[in-house]
Structures are given as C-alpha cells and as structure tokens.
Amino acid sequence: MVSGGRRHGSVAPYAFGAAAVGAVSGVHRSRADRALACSRTWSARDRPPAGAGAVDDLAGAAPQCRHTVRRLGVPSDDGPVWHADRAARRPKPAKLAINTALQRYVQERLSGAIIAPSGATVPRPVVTWTGRRHGRRQPRRWARAWSPEQIARRLPRDFPDDESMRISHEAIYQALYVQGRGALRRELTACLRTGRALRMPRARSRGRGKHFITPELLISQRPAEATDRAVPGHWEGDLILGLAVPPLATLVERTTRFALLLHLPRMAGHGPGVRVKNGPALAGHGAEAVRDAIARTIITLPAQLRRSLTWDQGVEMTQHARLRIDTGVAVYFCDPHSPWQRGTNENTNGLLRQYFPKGTDLSVHSVDALAAVALALNTRPRKTLGWRTPAEALDDVLRSAHTATVATTS
C-alpha cells in the first residue's frame, strides 16, 4: 500500500500489516520493523535491485538509516551508492596537496625571497623557527609576505583560463594552521603579517577587555557639537608607551588642538615586595593612576572646557564612571580597532614622537620636561588653525567666553 502524499509513492509504516512483515524471507521481524520505521522514497536512479530482502518487498520505500539498509543486504560498496554518501566521505584531500602548481604559487608569494630592482636576491636575516610567535623587537623573516586574501584574489588575474588555479583565502589559512590539512609548512605562518603560530578567533579579540563599555558610552552617542568641532571643550586622550613603564598620557582639545601631557608616576607599593592579589596596577598605567592623573589636570580648566573625553577601549579607563563623577566630564569610547575616530589625538601623538621616540624609556622625563614639551607643541603654528598656535586659539576661546559672560550679566 502506498500513500498518495509523496512524489514517488512513499510507504507509511502503518500501511504494512503482519502479513507484509512476515513475507520477508530470511530477515528477523525486528529488523524489518526497524526498516519500515525509517522508510523514505527511493529515487529512480538509486532504487536497489530486486532481491534485496525486505527492501524489495517494500516496493519503493527506502530506509533512511544507512546501517539498517546494509543489514538488510542492500549493497553499498559494490552496488548503488547514494550521492550524499559519496559527498560525505571524509577527509577530503586538500586542494593544495593535490595541485602542486597551486601549492608552489602560494608558497612563493608567502615566503618568496625579496628581489632587488637589479634582479639580485637581497640577503635576509636568518630566523630560526621555534613554533612560537616572534618576540618584541626581534628580527623577522624577510619575504614577499602576501596575505592569503591577496593570493586568492590575484589568481584569477594571473590564470584567467585555468580554473584549477583557484583557492579561497580560508583554505590557505587552514593549510597553515589546521592539523591534518598541512599542505603548507607550518613555519610559513612566520611570513604572515601577525606572525602568529596559532590562529586567534576574531570573536575572541572583539570580546576581550570590553566588559566596562556599554552601548550608551560609544562614540556614536557623543554630541554632534563634538564631531564638527563647533564647541570647544571636547577632548581626546591616549597613552604613549615606551620601553619601560610608566607611559605618558596625552589630552588634546579637538577645536584648538591644545595638548596636555600627563605624568603617570608609579604608585605606592610598586617594586619588590609582597603584592596584593588582584590589586590595582602600581606601575603607573593602571586604571586608578590614569583616573587620578586626568582628574588632577582637567579639573583646573574652566567649566566650558570640560565637556567630554573620548578614549580608546583600553583597560586603563575602567574607572571612567568615577572620573565622570569627580570631574563632570562625559567619557566616550571609540569602536574597537578604530583609532581614526580619535584622529586629532593620533596626529598629536605622532608629533610628540619627535621628542619621545618609540623604544625609549619615558620614565626618565620629569614633570617639568613634559611641561616644556607641551609648551613647545602648543606654541607651534598650525595650518589647520590658519597658522595660529594652539595656545592662541585657546586664548581666543577663553576671551570670547569671558566677553559673552560679561555681556550677559550687564
């Protein structure tokens, strides 16, 4: 009996009585019942041949379970094979493992030698592969260092008529990082931009250290007057790191480009001795030290110059709520990995690197030295200010505010 609700006439389990099950010769009753319970429609192409035991008696009903079909005697290896079974065979051979030309192309663009304009190979540092990421200020391998995406996108341009020379960037990453698909040598990860020996999931990097930031604190919620620089009093801040701790903190006013340099001294208790478990960072760049330094400096400014502060998503600003209470300054945070949203501060930090180069010890600079550098920067004429200095621009702002106050009171 065949139900009429299916295309090829599938057979419902309840359609067969004891007579149909008993007609199955050489098959145990429970096995036939299980075959009937997982019945599905056979396609015309994959219909098993006659004499296949219980399936032959079902006249078109196909069991869903492969193990049941094999127990009932339907051939799988020597007879008809289902397309899903054929596609599900694992593991599939990696494309880079079976295509030597493609493998050679990928390896050459990952780790190929640097060639001078004359055509000679440039000698490069000899770096031993240790299975770990390169350390700070350590020599790295010189290579062509194309990214996997650059390689994948370039293949159609170099081989427009050869469809075998195609691969996705994800397949290249898997060949480098995934064990068992190692068509590429593992040490080639040193030629990637990051040089990571282990792959880091993007979700892990997004969710790390951001628990203190809520949606209402993101830069998209900052007032429009701060974005168009129409109203002074909106600041951007960041840390300048050196070879040793503590770093320096910088504050830049968006309208006038006036800069403040904050000295971050080491806190009491820093140095050899017993440390408090899970206590505050004492080296000068912790949340408590940064909060105190910002509050100590910004509270000396007039109220009209204390409107907002924009910072990146560094953990040194975890005490932003306390800073807002102490100073009345609203704190906002940039989006992850978006330093361009604090462009004024990033530009100022670049100017300060003339005085504080990377890789130098910043802890040797005193408060007076930082004040002198800030004075030199604030008295330097700027093109964006019409060749006025930041100090002159800030003085004009304060003078205008004072004039408006006098006019209002009179």
275-318 pLDDT, tens digit each? 666 555 655 567 888 999 999 999 999 999 999 999 998 888 88
Comparing 347 with 37, which gets the higher pLDDT?
347
Report pLDDT digits (tens) over 28-51. 445 445 444 444 445 555 555 555
- CATH 3.30.420.10 domain extents, the chain: 215-269+281-406
pLDDT at position 261, please?
Answer: 94
Lowest mean pLDDT among 206-210, 271-275, 325-329: 206-210
The pTM score is 0.54
Mean pLDDT rounded to a whole number for the chain: 76
Q: Which CATH class is domain 215-269+281-406?
A: alpha beta
pLDDT at position 92, please?
Answer: 75
Most confident of 235-239, 241-245, 361-365: 235-239
Percentage of residues in the chain having pLDDT higher than 90: 33
Comparing 264 with 256, which gets the higher pLDDT?
256
Determine the average pLDDT of the residues in 10-20: 43
pLDDT of residue 164 exceeding 80: yes
pLDDT at position 351, please?
Answer: 92
Across the beta sheet with 248-253, the strand order is 259-263, 248-253, 234-240, 308-311, 330-333
pLDDT at position 274, please?
Answer: 62
pLDDT at position 174, please?
Answer: 85
pLDDT of residue 9 exceeding 70: no
3-state secondary structure the chain: CCCCCCCCCCCCHHHCCHHHHHCCCCCCHHHHHHHHHCEEECCCCCCCCCCCCHHHHHCCEEECCHHHHHHCCCCCCCCCCCHHHHHCCCCCCCHHHHCHHHHHHHHHHHHCCCECCCCCECCCCCCCCCCCCCCCCCCCCCCCCCCHHHHHHHHHHHCCCCCCCCCCHHHHHHHHHCCCCCCCCHHHHHHCCCCCCCCCCHHHHHCCCCCCCCHHHEHHHCCHHHHCCCCCCEEEEEEECCCCCCCEEEEEECCCCCEEEEECCCCCCCCCCCCCCCCCCCCCCCHHHHHHHHHHHHCCCCHHHCCEEEECCCHHHCCHHHHHHHHCCEEEECCCCCHHHHHHHHHHHHHHCCCCCCCCCHHHCCHHHHHHHHHHHHCCCEHHHCCECHHHHHHHHHHHHHHHHHHHHC
pLDDT of residue 343 exceeding 90: yes
pLDDT of residue 373 exceeding 90: yes
Report pLDDT digits (tens) over 189-237. 777 877 776 777 666 555 554 677 888 899 999 999 998 998 999 999 9
